[in-house]
Amino acid sequence: MKKHSEENRSDKIRKVSFGSALFDVEENAADAAGDMQALTGDEDPGYGMSSGTEDYLPAEQMPEASAEESEEENGEETEEVSKEDKSKKILKEVLDWVKTVAIGVIVGVLLVTFVIQRDNVQGDSMLPTLKDGYAVFTEKISTYFDNFDRGDIVILDGHGMEGYNHEECLIKRVIALPGETIRIEGGKVYLKEVGASEFKELDEPYLNPGVITEMRASGMAKGYNEVTLGEKEYYCMGDNRPVSNDSRNLGPFSADRIKGVAIVVVYPFSEFKFL
């Protein structure tokens, strides 16, 4: 029986050449396995027919191990990416915040320097329009073009003018414009506009009823009771004429002394109004 098996096996072996190597290939492994089973009596002879795969793990175990390792690696990579993305997001938010603050500061400085500012009213010279303690917003754009109108409430720099010895600026109303002639007489204000041949009384609805406009002796001596204004000169007075120190005593204000035009009362909030 053994001899017959070996003969059958030898009949079923042939030589196959791949390059310079020769390999014995079993064409009928099933017959060989059957013969071995017959000799040993085992159902599973465990005959070596691994075809060179004996160094690898069983196929059914490989996917499970690979999947676990892959999941661990992917989890670690995901966690690292998540931390990195979070750090980048925080850094971006901080930079955006810093940028926003910086832009706000720059815009604020530019606005206060060139466009608008807040001024506080001190004293009663502008009653009843403005009271002591009021805060106003003042626009500066008009000062770049010398664009002032009659009735504008303006911030004036009186430093160096005879009759003014305070550090603070003044706040007064524009009464007469460049080229006009103003006359103060009999408690009233008269204007002769450019090109006009006669004076006309100025209507001033912003004054308290019964208020009259009088000259001081110092102003009369300087000739400020009747003045023809030169180029870029403005005659300005406070609304509370009896207490206001203005062009009646200080003389006309040149355009470069006007630092802004008050446009709105912002404090107290209950007195909010445009001027």
Residue 181 is inside which H or E element, if any?
strand 181-185
Q: How far apart are the C-alpha atoms of 249 and 243, rounded to whole Å?
A: 12
Q: Cα–Cα distances in Å, from 38 out to 9, 26, 44?
A: 14, 18, 11
Q: How far apart are the C-alpha atoms of 213 and 203, rounded to whole Å?
A: 12
SS3 (DSSP) at 126: coil
Phi, psi of 243 (to 5 degrees): -115, -5
Residues annotated as part of the active site: 125, 172
Q: What is 184-222 written as a DSSP string?
A: EETTEEEEE-TT-SS-EEPP-TTSPTT------HHHHHH
Q: What angle do CA 12, 16, 17 make, to 5 degrees?
A: 165
Q: How far apart are the C-alpha atoms of 274 and 136, rounded to whole Å?
A: 9
Q: How far apart are the C-alpha atoms of 240 and 242, rounded to whole Å?
A: 6
Two tokens, residue 85 = 């993305």
What is the DSSP pairing of strand 21-26 with strand 13-18? antiparallel
Phi, psi of 126 (to 5 degrees): -110, 15
